[in-house]
Amino acid sequence: MIERIPFTRSSRDGPAFRTVAHPAVPRPRPTAENLLRVRRIRWSEDLLVVAAAGEIDLATAGRLEHALGGHLPAATVLDLTEVGFLGVAGLRVIESAAARARSERRTTGVVAGTRPVLRLLHLFGVDTHIPVYRHLDHAIVEVPNH
């Protein structure tokens, strides 16, 4: 908080002011649950949609990894349309899940619409070996048939 305190001496224009900065009270860091929400939606017997909303970074990537673990159906679509930030830790989780899917002869697709997410997927070449879609309805039709 910044407060303006008048000096005791004044000029002919009125009292002189100086700015005093009080140390800010630290705010508690938001929990991973507040930064990233992840839902598993069983779309059909052979299709799982994992929808993420928020930020995927080093602090939250574990939540996404947990959602992509365990027994998975033949096709998985990762919906990142509500993700505003994707860090390298999140990218590693996506790459790892896709590699696991390939080794288990399953298919995976990613849905992304925000520029920061699309940019990172493109910069690291993820879009060359994992299909990336702009709309969930396209991914739901295409991924199980890959």
Decide which of 14 and 51 is more confident: 51
How does DSSP classify residue 35?
Answer: H
Q: State pTM to two decimals.
A: 0.76
Would you say 54 and 36 are in contact if contact means Cβ atoms under 8 Å apart? Answer: yes
Q: What is the pLDDT of residue 103?
A: 95
Rounded CA-CA distance 52/68 in Å is: 11
pLDDT exceeds 80 at position 15: no
- At 42-68, the pLDDT tens digits run 999 999 999 999 999 999 999 999 999
Would you say 81 and 112 are in contact if contact means Cβ atoms under 8 Å apart? Answer: yes
Domain borders along the chain are 32-145
What is the fold of 32-145? Answer: Transcription Regulator spoIIAA (3.30.750)
User: Count of CB atoms within 10 A of residue 51's CB?
Assistant: 19
**In this structure, are strands 107-111 and 132-133 parallel, antiparallel, or unpaired?**
parallel
List the 132-133 sheet strands across, edge first: 36-44, 47-56, 75-86, 107-111, 132-133
pLDDT exceeds 60 at position 84: yes
